[in-house]
Amino acid sequence: MELTTNERQGIIVWVYSLRHFKTLKRFGLIHYASRRMKYVVMYINQSDVEMTQKKLNELHFVRKVELSYRPFINLDFKDFFGKEKKSSNKDHSDKEDIEENKSSEAVF
Which sign does the torsion angle of CA 40, 42, 46, 49 carry?
negative
Please say whether the beta carbons of 11 and 67 come within 8 A: yes
Distances (CA, A) of 2 to 5, 7, 61: 10, 16, 40
Q: What integer pLDDT is reported at residue 77 of this predicted model?
A: 78
In tens, the pLDDT along 45-58 reads 999 999 999 999 99
CATH architecture, domain 8-72: 2-Layer Sandwich (3.30)
pLDDT in tens, the chain (108 residues): 788 888 899 999 999 999 999 999 999 999 999 999 999 999 999 999 999 999 999 999 999 999 999 888 888 877 777 665 555 555 555 556 666 555 555 554
H/E run at residue 33: strand 29-34
Q: pTM for this one?
A: 0.67
In tens, the pLDDT along 32-44 reads 999 999 999 999 9
Q: How far apart are the first and last CA of the chain?
A: 82
Ranges of each domain in the chain: 8-72, 76-108
User: What is the rounded CA–CA span in Å between residue 107 and residue 97?
Assistant: 16
